[in-house]
């Protein structure tokens, strides 16, 4: 891609606990499997933030403030484990597949945690970001936030959502050691790994008397309405206190030394190897973190055998975003967008970012330099250590003729005397100018009828006449409510667009189409595609977010 060595080196240092840094160099934009997930993973706070991590910052925070004594971090972790816990690795079934959304009425899944977690994740669920991936990211963010970035879990995407409940099988506190050992073996973890995974999971949070009055007492406390009894004295810090207190025999963990001997599952599990691993975890904070990072990565990567996860998703050093081409009636094209650049500590105060456009035939376009600019409000940061920061640079030009067109661009970054040309692994950053979303004439609206929302999309497309398309379609991944779940599934739906006008002198015509749907919620992330087909082939303009086009004006 042509990165400077300083960017690549700092990236590996900043995320040293993650592996496969060389894979960053091999990345070619766009990659529909990882681009959105990379943004959700790393764009935590600031310009174009995705905000999923916000739910667990600080570690003790709770999005639903209507009940005290709860924390999203512990509940998101619990949601991921319970989703995974019914896996059968030998059979190749189950794992993190969002089946938990259908299983919240089971005795083994007591409490509000699961539905409320899924309800939070819905906003980040899309045709390119499965609910299962959000469940995994939720647990990952919990551990990273609660350890202030000391534990960084490599994240892979590509999990697939199921549309029905899975089998029973989440281990419960009243079960004996043999039952727990068999359950974890079914999930792919041996006895030692079971001990470690339970210790890691019980580093944050506690047991709620509102859900388990047989384990802990229900208290009358306005500041602890859930009657939470913490696993250790640092319930909102992902550390080895759960191990040190257990080994010191002064643990407050109700699953280790609670009044109900039947439900002392942690005591039985931690002693399953004679107490060897839990002692090692107590003796070294770093050993605890390293053990947890390895085990939790495996837990999050437990998926059905037919699911292939991506490579570890690394932060992309130079990444285009929000690109639009508009056809103007005077025969020019407005090309606009953003370039997100990682901050590696070497940025000069007078950094210059220039966009070099290439014509439809691949030749450099001779126009004044297209300069991209930034300011403080265009920065995005992480909430904790080891998450990189980025700055976005905006650009726009109207100087390109529709006869010239555009096929790609290169990005030149000048930091003092250091000049680097980024060419996307020699391919340029691609743009197609045959099928375009015209922001002017495209809009969305949302109206609420009780708990239902009516979502409407109106799209205007500019279509190049010389392509002689026989069909121009608007495709919408329509979110559909599912019985027994707060999650949704996506139902790809096509609408034929209608030619409404020829733009004389431009070589383009305008097509329009509209789509609407009802859903019982605000709904997940909404997107749309344009697809055109004809004798010269098929062209697609994919994954435009509804949020990136204007809101329809009131009529």
Residue 165 above 60 pLDDT? Answer: yes
SS (H, E, C) 466-533: HHCCCEEEEEEEEEEECCCCCCEEEEEEEEECEEEEEECCCCEEEEEEEEEEEECCCCCCCEEEEEEE
Burial of 26 (C-beta count, 10 Å sphere; 0-12/13-18/19+): exposed
Top CATH class of 318-433 equals mainly beta
Report the first-to-last Cα separation within the chain, whole angstroms.
Answer: 48
Band (15; pLDDT cuts 50, 70, 90):
very low
User: Which structure tokens are listed for 346?
Assistant: 């070497």
What Cα–Cα distance (Å) separates residue 383 from each residue in 55, 64, 239, 300, 343? 11, 20, 18, 21, 15
What is the Cα–Cα distance from 107 to 379, expressed in whole angstroms? 46
For every residue of 275-301, DSSP letters joined together read THHHHHHHH-HHHHHHHHHHHHHHHHT
What is the Cα–Cα distance from 46 to 380, expressed in whole angstroms? 4
Per-residue pLDDT tens for 182-235? 999 999 999 999 999 999 999 999 999 999 999 999 999 999 999 999 999 999
Per-residue pLDDT tens for 105-153? 999 999 999 999 999 999 999 999 999 999 999 999 999 999 999 999 9
Domains 30-300 and 436-548 share a fold: no
Least confident range of 25-29, 245-249, 386-390? 25-29
What is the Cα–Cα distance from 458 to 460, expressed in whole angstroms? 7
Rounded to an integer, what is the distance from CA 133 to the centroid of its chain? Answer: 7
Indicate the Cα dihedral angle 337, 342, 343, 344, nearest 10°.
-150
Give the Cβ contact number of residue 20 at 10 Å.
Answer: 12
Per-residue pLDDT tens for 325-342? 999 999 999 999 999 999
What is the share, in percent, of the chain residues with pLDDT greater than 90? 89
What Cα–Cα distance (Å) separates residue 278 from each residue in 189, 192, 381, 520? 16, 9, 36, 46
Q: Domain coordinates of the chain in residue numbers?
A: 30-300, 318-433, 436-548
* Paired residues of 491 in beta bridges: 478
Q: What is the CATH number of domain 30-300?
A: 1.10.520.10
Per-residue pLDDT tens for 444-501? 999 998 888 999 999 999 999 999 999 999 999 999 999 999 999 999 999 999 999 9
pLDDT score recorded for residue 9? 37
Residue 442 above 90 pLDDT? Answer: yes
DSSP state of 127: T
User: Which structure tokens are listed for 87?
Assistant: 């896996």
pLDDT score recorded for residue 555? 63
- Better-scored residue on pLDDT, 14 or 340: 340
Residue 509 above 70 pLDDT? Answer: yes
pLDDT score recorded for residue 64? 73
Q: What is the fold of 436-548?
A: Immunoglobulin-like (2.60.40)
Give the Cβ contact number of residue 470 at 10 Å.
Answer: 10
* Paired residues of 381 in beta bridges: 45
Rounded to an integer, what is the distance from CA 468 to the centroid of its chain? Answer: 38
pLDDT score recorded for residue 451? 84
- Identify the residue whose tokens are 């383009």: 508
Residue 13 above 80 pLDDT? Answer: no
Does residue 521 contact residue 481 with C-beta atoms inside 8 Å? yes
């Amino acid at each position: 891609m042509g990165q400077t060595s300083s960017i690549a080196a700092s990236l590996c240092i900043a995320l040293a606990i993650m592996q496969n840094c060389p894979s960053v160099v091999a990345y070619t934009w766009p990659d529909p499997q990882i681009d959105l997930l990379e943004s959700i993973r790393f764009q935590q706070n600031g310009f174009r933030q995705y905000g999923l991590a916000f739910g667990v910052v600080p570690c003790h925070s709770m999005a639903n403030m209507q009940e005290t004594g709860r924390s999203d971090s512990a509940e998101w972790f619990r949601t991921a484990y319970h989703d995974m816990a019914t896996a059968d690795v030998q059979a190749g079934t189950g794992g993190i597949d969002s089946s938990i959304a259908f299983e919240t009425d089971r005795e083994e899944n007591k409490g509000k945690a699961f539905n409320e977690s899924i309800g939070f994740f819905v906003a980040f669920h899309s045709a390119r970001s499965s609910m299962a991936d959000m469940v995994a990211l939720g647990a990952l963010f919990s551990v990273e936030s609660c350890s202030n970035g000391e534990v960084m879990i490599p994240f892979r995407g590509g999990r697939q959502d199921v549309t029905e409940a899975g089998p029973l099988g989440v281990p419960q506190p009243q079960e004996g050691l043999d039952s727990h050992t068999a359950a974890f073996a079914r999930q792919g973890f041996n006895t030692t790994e079971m001990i470690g995974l339970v210790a890691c999971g019980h580093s944050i949070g506690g047991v709620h008397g509102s859900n388990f009055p047989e384990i802990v007492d229900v208290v009358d406390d306005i500041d602890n309405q859930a009657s939470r009894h913490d696993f250790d004295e640092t319930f909102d810090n992902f550390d080895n206190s759960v191990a040190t207190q257990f080994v010191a025999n002064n643990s407050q963990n109700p699953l280790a030394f609670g009044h109900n001997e039947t439900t002392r599952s942690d005591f039985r599990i931690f002693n399953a190897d004679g107490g060897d691993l839990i002692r090692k975890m107590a003796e070294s904070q770093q050993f605890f973190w390293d053990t947890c990072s390895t085990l939790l990565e495996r837990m999050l990567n437990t998926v059905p055998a037919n699911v292939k996860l991506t490579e570890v998703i690394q932060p992309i050093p130079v990444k285009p975003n929000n690109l639009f081409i508009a056809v103007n009636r005077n025969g020019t094209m407005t090309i606009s967008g953003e370039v997100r650049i990682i901050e590696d500590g070497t940025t000069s105060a007078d950094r210059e970012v220039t966009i070099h456009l290439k014509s439809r035939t691949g030749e450099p376009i001779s126009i004044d330099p297209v300069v991209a600019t930034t300011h403080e409000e265009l920065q995005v940061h992480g909430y904790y250590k080891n998450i990189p920061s980025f700055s976005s640079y905006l650009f726009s030009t109207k100087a390109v003729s529709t006869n010239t067109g555009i096929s790609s661009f290169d990005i030149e970054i000048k930091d003092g005397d250091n000049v680097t040309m980024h060419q996307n692994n020699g391919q340029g950053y691609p743009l197609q100018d045959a099928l375009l979303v015209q922001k002017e004439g495209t809009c969305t609206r949302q109206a609420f009828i009780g708990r239902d929302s009516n979502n409407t999309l109106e799209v205007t497309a500019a279509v190049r006449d010389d392509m002689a398309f026989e069909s121009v379609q608007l495709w919408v991944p329509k979110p559909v409510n599912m019985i027994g779940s707060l999650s949704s599934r996506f139902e790809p739906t096509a609408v034929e667009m209608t030619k409404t006008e020829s733009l004389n002198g431009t070589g383009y015509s305008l097509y329009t189409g509209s789509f609407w749907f009802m859903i019982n919620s605000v709904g997940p992330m909404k997107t749309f595609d344009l697809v055109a087909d004809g004798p010269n082939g098929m062209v697609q303009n994919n994954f435009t977010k509804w949020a990136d086009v204007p809101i329809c004006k009131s009529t």
